[in-house]
Amino acid sequence: MGSELKVVASKITYIINTINQLPQCKSFRVGLIGYRDHPPQDRSFVTRTFPLTSDLPFILTAVNHLHASGGGDIPEALDPALYDLLRMNWQESSVKHAVLNTDA
């Protein structure tokens, strides 16, 4: 997943920059949730949340510093990541989108 993660980071960077340049995009916030395998496959973290922010360089730096770890086939910590997604600092009136990338 390591080399694929670089491609994913590149694509996410492209998407964020493209949306940010749209004339109709007056307010734009992005967040990130990284997740790994559940222990004992990986013990570094289950999920790591970067809250929604308009600080796009901060999020792009976070995206580009993600790295793969663990290596087990299952169980991925997708459920905790989706739970964290629902608990993010969403604005009530905002249009909400989520992009999921997984190797499992």
Q: Is the pTM of this model over 0.85?
A: no
- Both tokens of 12, joined, read 């996410």
Predicted confidence band of residue 87 (pLDDT cuts 50, 70, 90):
very high
- 56 in a domain, yes or no? yes
User: How many independent structural domains does the chain possess?
Assistant: 1
Tokens of 74: 């299952």
Backbone angles phi, psi at 7, to 5 degrees: -65, -45
Residue 15 in domain = yes
Assess if residue 96 is contained within a domain. no
Domain assignment present for 49: yes
How many Å apart are CA 86 and CA 104, to the nearest integer? 21
Structure tokens at 97: 């989108």
Question: Is 103 part of a structural domain of the chain?
Answer: no
Task: Tell whether 63 is covered by a domain.
Answer: yes
State the pLDDT confidence band at 80, using cuts at 50, 70 and 90. very high
Tell whether 102 is covered by a domain: no
For residue 48, what are the β-bridge partners? 34
- What's the pLDDT band for 51 if we cut at 50, 70, 90? very high
